């Protein structure tokens, strides 16, 4: 029996361990790729929703915002556009950022009068409004998009 060729038990165990390590590494890579695909899909959907909503808002007639009153509580100083004419999947939510920086969870879009010289909100509407939209998927913020509405 000394002349028989074959594998010893230790050689088989080492080969099995190496195969297991390669399998674990492969499954880990597949898991990471799957997660990246999910995130990319979520972001693409959010970007499509934000751009569609922004384009819809830009097609609406310009609404001149009321002058801003800085007294407590601040009032006025933003225009409200009726939104949500686009189809939004139930697990996504589009929020608009108001003058105070808070998120408006209604379907309306807030246009804040903007001073292009200073890059800050203006106290009176001179024909330029900044619109910021934030897209949520569940409770997670996925994307924020900023655009401007111009009175023409």
Point out which residues pair with 144 in neighbouring strands. 134
Pick from 109, 122, 103, 124: which is nearest to 49 by CA? 109
Q: What is the pLDDT of residue 131?
A: 93
Contacting residues for 111 by C-beta, under 8 A, at least 6 apart:
57, 63, 65, 78, 79, 80, 81, 129, 130, 131, 149
Query: Are residues 77 and 69 in contact, defined by beta-carbon separation less than 8 angstroms?
Result: yes
CA distances from 11 to 6, 22, 38, 132 (A): 10, 17, 41, 64
pLDDT in tens, 58-116: 888 998 888 877 766 666 688 888 866 678 888 999 999 888 888 888 878 889 999 98
19 falls in which pLDDT band (50, 70, 90)? very high
pTM summary value: 0.75
């Amino acid at each position: 029996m000394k002349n028989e060729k074959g594998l010893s038990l230790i050689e088989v165990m080492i080969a099995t361990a190496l195969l297991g390590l390669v399998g674990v590494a492969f499954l880990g890579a597949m898991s990471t790729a799957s997660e990246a695909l999910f995130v990319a899909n979520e972001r693409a959907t959010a970007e499509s929703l934000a751009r569609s909503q922004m384009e819809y808002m830009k097609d609406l007639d310009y609404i001149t915002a009321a002058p801003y009153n800085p007294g407590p509580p601040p009032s006025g100083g933003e225009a409200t556009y009726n939104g949500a004419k686009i189809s939004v999947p139930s697990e996504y939510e589009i929020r608009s950022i108001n003058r105070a920086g808070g998120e408006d969870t209604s379907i309306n879009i807030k246009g804040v009068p903007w001073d292009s010289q200073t890059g800050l909100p203006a106290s009176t509407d001179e024909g330029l409004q900044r619109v910021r939209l934030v897209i949520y998927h569940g409770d997670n913020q996925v994307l924020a998009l900023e655009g401007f509405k111009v009175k023409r």
